Amino acid sequence: MTVFNLPNSITFVRIILLPVFVIAMVYKRYDAALALFVIASISDALDGLLARMTNQKTALGAFLDPLADKILMTTSFIMFSIFGLLPTWLTITVISRDLIVTIGWFLLNMIYNISKIEPLFTGKAANASQLILIAYILFSINLNVDSTPHPWMLLVVASLTIVSGCQYTYRGLRQASEK
């Protein structure tokens, strides 16, 4: 099975769009940033669906797809914090959780040869809440309404992010102790 298939090509395009998203944000072209964010979000769902439907799952796709998602979310949170659209503490929480989970996976892989980490519901919920928060802000800016997220939105994102990070850490420690 070749790595140059349609699902992986879609993922590559999503990664290539990330610097364009940053440029749109820097130049306050929030309409373009929103369009790129929507395209990236749709292509994320599309590449996974296509890979499953056409039986074109690859190791490269399994690596690049979540990497593209994390780069988009990390970039968005950093940009939004710089522009004062999100509190810095939330950005630090989101990025810290991703770093801890990634470093934990790397260590499990290097020390115990555990390469497959199954996604948790809370991890998917945390990612979805982060995605919704970014979309909410971009839509609000484009509709010329107050883009300040409600405190409860920040609390939900932070809580899901922290809980999922703790669950992944617990699961990793448990897997390590079983080896």
Binned at pLDDT 50, 70 and 90, residue 1 comes out as low
pLDDT on residue 63? 84
For residue 21 the two structure tokens come to 């998203």
Q: Tell me the per-residue pLDDT of 135-168, one tens digit each, with 9 for 90 and over.
A: 999 999 999 999 999 999 999 999 999 999 999 9
pTM of the model: 0.91
How many other C-beta atoms are found inside a 10 Å radius of the C-beta of residue 152?
8
Q: Tell me the per-residue pLDDT of 22-74, one tens digit each, with 9 for 90 and over.
A: 999 999 999 999 999 999 999 988 988 898 899 988 888 888 888 899 999 99
Is 135 in contact with 73 (CB distance < 8 Å)? no
pLDDT on residue 43? 92
Return the ∠ at Cα 173 (arms to 167 and 179), rounded to 5°: 135
Is 136 in contact with 153 (CB distance < 8 Å)? yes
- pLDDT (average), residues 76-83: 96
pLDDT on residue 150? 96
Q: Burial of 138 by CB count in 10 Å (0-12 exposed, 13-18 middle, 19+ buried)?
A: buried
Determine the Cα–Cα distance for residues 75 and 81; give it in Å rounded to an integer.
10
- 104 pLDDT exceeds 90? yes
Determine the Cα–Cα distance for residues 77 and 79; give it in Å rounded to an integer.
6
- Rounded to the nearest angstrom, the gap between the alpha carbon of residue 23 and the centroid of all alpha carbons in its chain is 19
Is 14 in contact with 44 (CB distance < 8 Å)? yes
DSSP H helical segments within the chain, as ranges?
Answer: 6-26, 30-53, 59-82, 88-112, 121-142, 151-178
